[in-house]
Amino acid sequence: GESVGLHLPTLSVQEGDNSIINCAYSNSASDYFIWYKQESGKGPQFIIDIRSNMDKRQGQRVTVLLNKTVKHLSLQIAATQPGDSAVYFCAENSNQAGTALIFGKGTTLSVSS
Amino acid sequence: EPEVTQTPSHQVTQMGQEVILRCVPISNHLYFYWYRQILGQKVEFLVSFYNNEISEKSEIFDDQFSVERPDGSNFTLKIRSTKLEDSAMYFCASSGEYEQYFGPGTRLTVT
């Protein structure tokens, strides 16, 4: 089975709404979690990361929450914009430099104006 | 802002042919990676490279695959004898330590 996965394959929101994208992971040894955004025809773009010694981290319009008890990760996007439309992947690894990222299947976020 | 670059953007090859995909990682990064993404699926790890040797590889990275850093800037992935199932987007990534930054990818089509 896969180490990291997402609850919903698609999410549709209205411009200005807040979006929440969820991810469940199964590897308790994972120490480092990352959210990537992938636009059509492009490579994954780093959004935000979090280490297992934290439960929340904020960036510009984005917040990542980590619940280690239930092995759940979420990405919150405030005031979602049409430019946020993309596929969002969570990924994890063991927080050692140079190690493989294990990606989940991705959630397609569609923002309508 | 520095970025990972990849060439070509699209490569079409016949089954059984050799292909070389090229990448220029971010200049001060020490770790280099190749991933692939079959159309509509998740990104899969192939190999990581550090200090001029492979540090980790997945079961996908069999004897048909090899990587090389031929000079101080390029990082290449070679597939010796391509198969139809090698058709995918191939992404190069690099990192200083933890944050991996991805290139735009090379779409490989094997016919």
User: Hey, where are the domains in chain A?
Assistant: 4-106
- Among chain B residues, the shortest Cα distance to A98 is held by B31
Q: Do B101 and A102 touch (CB under 8 A)?
A: no
Q: Do A105 and B99 touch (CB under 8 A)?
A: no
What is the pLDDT at residue A93? 87
Q: Does A42 lie at the interface with B, CB-CB under 8 angstroms? A: yes
Res. B20 pLDDT band, cuts 50 70 90: very high
What is the pLDDT at residue A5? 53
Q: Is the peptide bond before B8 cis (omega within 30 degrees of 0)?
A: yes
Query: What CATH architecture is B5-97?
Result: Sandwich (2.60)
Q: Do A46 and B101 touch (CB under 8 A)?
A: yes
- Which of B31, B44, B103 has the CB atom closest to A98's CB atom? B31
- Which of B30, B56, B99 has the CB atom closest to A99's CB atom? B56
Res. B36 pLDDT band, cuts 50 70 90: very high
DSSP A90-107: EEEE-S-TTPPPEE---E
Fold (CATH) for A4-106: Immunoglobulin-like (2.60.40)
Task: Provide the shortest C-alpha distance from residue B49 to chain A (in Å).
Answer: 8
Query: How is chain B split into domains, by residue range?
Result: 5-97
A23-49 burial, b at 16+ Cβ within 10 Å, e below that, comes to bbbeeeebbbbbbbbbeeeebbebbbb
Mean pLDDT computed over every residue of chain A: 89
Q: Do A102 and B45 touch (CB under 8 A)?
A: yes
Q: Do A98 and B48 touch (CB under 8 A)?
A: yes
Is B44 within 8 Å of B91 (Cβ atoms)? no
- Which of B42, B101, B105 has the CB atom closest to A103's CB atom? B42
Res. A3 pLDDT band, cuts 50 70 90: very low
Order of strands, sheet of B65-68, starting from the edge strand that comes earlier in the sequence: B5-7, B19-24, B75-79, B65-68
